Amino acid sequence: MMVDVLSPVAGQRQAVSEMPDPVFATGLVGPGAAIVPLPGRQSAVSPIDGTLSKVFPHAYLVVSDRGPAVLVHLGIDTVQLHGDGFTSLAAEHQWVHAGQAIVSWDPAEVERTGRSAMCAVVVLDCPYPAVPLQEWGEHVEASEPLFSIEC
């Protein structure tokens, strides 16, 4: 089954191998993409339709009824911020639509703490590579198609 995954934030699309975290960059978490987010407060949105299985201030997991689960991780080492600068806009176990706002945050605030604001968007438990829907390096808006994947 081919699944289109939307970009959770606005910014520049990158290959997941560009993530400054080896766990994401080597594909250990799963295939996907990275996004260098635009500065300024923005809402991170759901990349697929599904159930919001987990919500942390800096990350969330959406599980589709049709198979894949997509993890969105906002920045690197942002768990160490203990939620500072992040506001949850949706609740765990809530059904969400692709493009629905999940977390409000400001990538520039993350960078002011010395951390990378680069976001990971990865599909869990899927052995196939992500296929970009446009060239890596191009700008993408939140809710625009980011990549397709067959799971």
- Average pLDDT of each block of 10 consecutive residues along the chain (151 residues)? 91 94 93 94 97 96 91 96 94 97 97 96 84 82 92 78
pLDDT of 95 reads 97
pTM for this prediction: 0.94
pLDDT of 41 reads 96
pLDDT of 129 reads 75
pLDDT of 133 reads 72
The third-level CATH classification (topology) of the domain covering 2-150 is Glucose Permease (Domain IIA) (2.70.70)
Sorted by sequence, the CB contacts under 8 Å of residue 40 that are 6+ apart come out as 106, 107, 108
pLDDT of 114 reads 96
Tell me, yes or no, if 73 is annotated catalytic.
yes
- Note whether 33 and 147 are within 8 A (CB): yes
- Note whether 44 and 102 are within 8 A (CB): yes
Written as six digits, the tokens of 150 are 């067959």
pLDDT of 130 reads 72
pLDDT of 2 reads 81
pLDDT of 46 reads 98
pLDDT of 68 reads 86
Query: Which of the residues 73, 93, 97, 139 is marked catalytic?
Result: 73
